[in-house]
Amino acid sequence: MKTLIRGGHIVTATDDYQADILIDEGRIAVIGQALAVQADQVIDARGLLVFPGGIDVHTHFDMPFGGTTSSDDFASGTKAAAFGGTTTIVDFAIQSRGRSLQEGFEAWLAKAEGKAAIDYGFHMIVSEARPEILNEMSRMVDQGVTSFKMFTAYPGVFMVDDGGIFRAFQRAAEIGAMMAMHAENGSVIDVLVEQALARGETAPKYHALTRPPQLEGEATHRVIVLAELAQAPLYIVHLSAADALDAVIAARDSGLDVYAETCPQYLFLSYENYEEPGFDGAKYVMSPPLRPREHQARLWRGLQSNDLQVVATDHCPFCMKDQKILGKDNFAKIPNGAPGVEMRMSLIYDGGVASGRLSLNRFVEITATMPAKLFGLFPQKGTIAVGSDADLVLFDPEGQTTWSAATHHMRVDYNPYEGRVTRGAIRQVLSRGEVIVDGPDFRGREGWGQYLKRRPFRRP
Ligand code: URP
Ligand code: ZN
Ligand code: ZN
């Protein structure tokens, strides 16, 4: 099957030109001007931008958490991702306490296989640093799970002490793996939560007030020091606060292999959302929490200056009706997480490119190319080049998109950006050469997505 995309304006992290793209058997075969070739299907892309498919390296589909399970599974979540211009996700498999990494990996493969509509890989959450688990890390790398996530937060669930984190960092350095860290000081947060509840402070906003930015800054600095000592590459996930960004900037300025992602919610939403009437603040209960508005400009600046390299979503949706409500009388029982996978590309285009903060190239770099490079997927994914997978987004810069729970494709009963209009509209999305989104229609299928065996870490 050959597909010709005619006359689009191709944008990669480095290029920006008009050309035709010939796709053969799911890969980009030829790029050139006015190509004189036969194809089974011709797509007219004149007037449209053609981006590499987005790569969201932080999703939680079908994840048991906070006494419930995230409401998107691999079928609904990857379909929503596709509508949002994302053609690859890297989700988090979990090593449950008392179980092996292999069991966690196989459990998440089973959740995704036959369901995912786009290609997918896994990071592995390490929730214990026992010798058996540390030994097993290399087996994960052999199977394409080349990054691990650990937590300085959520004591009793995922948190591992500093010695355990350090041991895992040393192991990662030996086997060429990337360590991803959720950096908040969980022990101190637990004290603040206990004290707030004792004062009768139970509303959603206390989730944010008991997780101050200083505790993200402290934990970020701490894990950077541990990674430096262990000589392991480090990736800070869902960075939300200027305090944490300062630690990342200092590390990068001294030449360390330290990288960080932020997420749209920290760029567009703020602490004020917790003060919405009634229980609505629960929509935004996530960790780290939304920050006071002044942090946003620092994060945008971080993206501009390459102090932040990636925008991912931390997509972890819970319905208001029967999930967030678990914390009606106690903010600490509200499941942590929010939806984002469908809006990421549109929000960053709107707030980045259309607002003049980011070039088109930088937009592609932080939404596709750097995620691919940092997580062992480049150049199969993350660019438009001969030989790369034909994962493409045809984007109309003159269009616009209105966000609402009534029209989004995520399986969740609210949208944190309800009513927001973003400039630009996704017209078509291709995954390995197949049109999977065509205007309002889904033309993909459950099970089309393939497991991606990722390469070990290589400095980008
Ligand atoms: O609130 C969040 N972020 N939920 C998902 C789990 C995590 O820590 O990434
Ligand atoms: Zn996290
Ligand atoms: Zn997460």
pLDDT digits (tens, 9 = 90+) for 271-294: 999 999 999 999 999 999 999 999
When pLDDT is cut at 50, 70 and 90, the band that residue 242 belongs to is very high
Q: Please, what's the b/e burial string for 219-241 (b: 16 or more CB within 10 A of its CB; e: otherwise)?
A: bbbbbbebbbebebbbbbbbbbb
Residue 426 burial (CB < 10 Å; 0-12/13-18/19+)? Answer: buried
CA of 306 to the centre of ligand 3 (A): 22
> Helix (H, G, I), strand (E, B), or coil: what is residue 451?
strand
Name the residue at shortest CA distance from atom 5 of ligand 1: 337
When pLDDT is cut at 50, 70 and 90, the band that residue 329 belongs to is very high
Q: Average the pLDDT over 431-435 and give the result.
A: 98
State how beta strands 27-32 and 119-125 pair: unpaired
Atom of ligand 1 nearest to the CA of 158: 8
When pLDDT is cut at 50, 70 and 90, the band that residue 162 belongs to is very high
Q: Average the pLDDT over 331-348 and give the result.
A: 98
- DSSP per residue over 193-214, as a string? HHHHHHTT--STHHHHHTS-HH
- Per-residue model confidence (pLDDT) at position 334: 98
The neighbour count for residue 110, using CB atoms within 10 Å, is 11
CA of 390 to the centre of ligand 2 (A): 31
Query: What are the φ and ψ backbone dihedral angles of 453, each rounded to 5 degrees?
Result: -85, 110
Over its C-alpha atoms, the chain yields an Rg (Å, rounded) of: 21
CA of 314 to the centre of ligand 1 (A): 6
State how beta strands 234-236 and 178-182 pair: parallel
CA of 296 to the centre of ligand 3 (A): 19
Give me the amino acid identity at 37. V
Mean pLDDT over each residue of the chain, to the nearest integer: 98
Question: What are the E-state strand segments in 352-460?
Answer: 392-402, 421-431, 434-438, 441-442
What kind and span of H or E run contains 365? none
- Per-residue model confidence (pLDDT) at position 71: 98
- Per-residue model confidence (pLDDT) at position 404: 98
d(CA 141, CA 427): 37
Atom of ligand 1 nearest to the CA of 285: 1
List of residues 6+ apart from 263 with CB closer than 8 A: 58, 238, 240, 311, 312, 313, 314, 340
> Helix (H, G, I), strand (E, B), or coil: what is residue 395?
strand
CA of 397 to the centre of ligand 1 (A): 32
- Per-residue model confidence (pLDDT) at position 330: 98
Mutate which of 61, 290, 336 for ligand 1? The one with the most ligand atoms within 8 Å of its CB, which is: 336
> Each residue of 38-92: pLDDT tens digit?
999 999 999 999 999 999 999 999 999 999 999 999 999 999 999 999 999 999 9
Query: What are the φ and ψ backbone dihedral angles of 122, each rounded to 5 degrees?
Result: -135, 140
- Domains, in order of start, for the chain: 2-51+385-442 (2.30.40.10), 53-374 (3.20.20.140)
List of residues 6+ apart from 258 with CB closer than 8 A: 224, 227, 233, 234, 235, 236, 248, 251, 252
When pLDDT is cut at 50, 70 and 90, the band that residue 123 belongs to is very high
Regarding the beta carbon of 314 and ligand 1, being less than 6 Å apart is answered yes
Record the pTM.
0.99
Q: Average the pLDDT over 17-21 and give the result.
A: 98
**Residue 106 tokens, joined:** 């196989």
d(CA 263, CA 68): 23
> Each residue of 182-205: pLDDT tens digit?
999 999 999 999 999 999 999 999
Measuring CA to CA, which residue among 239, 228, 290 is closest to residue 261?
239
How far, in whole angstroms, is CA 419 from its chain's centroid? 23
Q: Average the pLDDT over 372-393 and give the result.
A: 98
Q: Average the pLDDT over 294-298 and give the result.
A: 98
Regarding the beta carbon of 60 and ligand 1, being less than 6 Å apart is answered yes
Of all residues in the chain, the percent with pLDDT exceeding 90 is 100
List of residues 6+ apart from 358 with CB closer than 8 A: 303, 304, 348, 352, 366
d(CA 438, CA 429): 7
- Residue found by looking up tokens 């196989």 in the block: 106
CA of 314 to the centre of ligand 2 (A): 8
Number of H helices, E strands in the chain: 13, 19
Mutate which of 91, 316, 318, 331 for ligand 1? The one with the most ligand atoms within 8 Å of its CB, which is: 316
Measuring CA to CA, which residue among 71, 117, 1 is closest to residue 415?
71
- Is residue 289 a contact partner of residue 281, using CB atoms and an 8 Å limit? no
The neighbour count for residue 419, using CB atoms within 10 Å, is 8
